[in-house]
Amino acid sequence: MKGPHEYTLQDLLKTIYEQNEMTDIVYRKAAIDAYNEVVGEMIAQLSRNFKLKKDVLQVQLSSAALRQEMSYRKDSLLAKINEKMTEFKLKDIVFF
């Protein structure tokens, strides 16, 4: 049981990130890590220029054919990525 002035390391880091407006950086890193884990090493290597805007992960892919395939799998990928996320959930993935 925690006393009135006892905090977990996770609580302290979250507070520091929020105070220094670093949560976007942490969320972006978590989203990219989850994406790379879900899609696998080969597709992860073909993905670049990740952006996270308003809970939407934007991923640039190296070819139009891969963009088309990933667009078909978007709902499944989004669900799997969100399963791995702990702090927040993505609303969408956009491939460009």
Is 86 among the domain residues? yes
pLDDT at 3 over 70: no
Model confidence over 25-76: pLDDT tens digits? 888 999 999 999 999 999 999 999 999 999 999 999 999 999 999 999 999 9
Please tell me which residue, 12 or 54, carries the higher pLDDT value. 54
Is 49 among the domain residues? yes
Is 4 among the domain residues? no
Is 26 among the domain residues? yes
Report the domain count for the chain: 1
Please tell me which residue, 16 or 27, carries the higher pLDDT value. 27
Is 62 among the domain residues? yes
CA angle 87, 58, 60 (to 5 degrees): 135
Is 2 among the domain residues? no
User: CB-based contacts of 72: which residues, under 8 Å, 6+ apart?
Assistant: none
Full residue range of the structural domain in which residue 25 is found: 9-95
Model confidence over 73-95: pLDDT tens digits? 999 999 999 999 988 899 999 99
Chain mean position to CA 78 = 10
Is 1 among the domain residues? no
Q: pLDDT-derived band of residue 23, with 50, 70 and 90 as boundaries?
A: confident
CA angle 32, 70, 58 (to 5 degrees): 40
Is 29 among the domain residues? yes
* CATH (domain of 71): 3.30.300
- Note whether 93 and 56 are within 8 A (CB): yes
Looking up tokens 């640039």 gives 60
d(CA 43, CA 63): 11
